[in-house]
Chain A
Amino acid sequence: MNCIIIDDEAAARTIVAHLCSQVDNLDVIEEFPNAISAMKFLNRNDIDLIFLDLHMPDFSGFDFIETLKNPPKIVLTTSDKNFAIEAFGYDCIVDYLLKPITFPRFLKSVQKAQKEKVTPRVAAAPAAPVVKESTALVEKELYVNIDRRLVKILFEDIYLIEAKGDYILIKTEKKNYTVHSTLKKIVEKLPDSLFLKVHRSYIINFKKIIDIEDNSVLIAKNVIPISRSNRPELMRRLNLL
Chain B
Amino acid sequence: MEQPNLSYINDLAAGDESFKNKLIEVVKDELPVEIEIYHSNMNSSAFAKAAENVHKLKHKLGILGLVDGYETAIAYEEELKLGKSSLKTEFESILVACNHFINDL
Enumerate chain A interface residues (CB-CB to B < 8 A). Answer: 9-12, 14-15, 18-19, 55, 79-80, 99-100, 102-103, 165-166
Q: When the two chains form their complex, are residues A14 and B26 in contact, meaning their CB atoms are under 8 A apart?
A: yes
Interface of B is mostly: helix
Give the bracket for the number of chain B residues in contact with chain A. 20 to 34
B14 neighbours in A (Cβ, 8 Å): 103
The answer to whether B62 and A18 have CB atoms under 8 Å apart is no
Instruction: List CB contacts (< 8 Å) of B1-44 with chain A.
Output: 8, 11-14, 16, 19, 22-23, 26-27, 29-30
Chain A min CB distance to B13 (Å): 8
User: Contacting B22 at CB < 8 Å: which of A14, A79, A103, A165?
Assistant: A14
Closest B residue to A98 by CB, please name it: B62
Give the CA-CA distance A9 to B27 in the complex, in Å: 10
Q: Which residues of chain B (44-63) have a CB below 8 Å from chain A?
A: 48, 52, 55-56, 58-60, 62-63
B63:A100 contact, CB within 8 angstroms: yes
Q: List 11 A-B contacts (CB under 8 A).
A: A9-B56, A9-B59, A14-B26, A15-B12, A15-B63, A18-B12, A55-B55, A79-B55, A79-B62, A100-B62, A100-B63
Given known A-B contacts A11-B63, A79-B62, A55 and B23 have beta carbons under 8 A apart: no
Give min CB distance, A44 to chain B, whole Å: 28
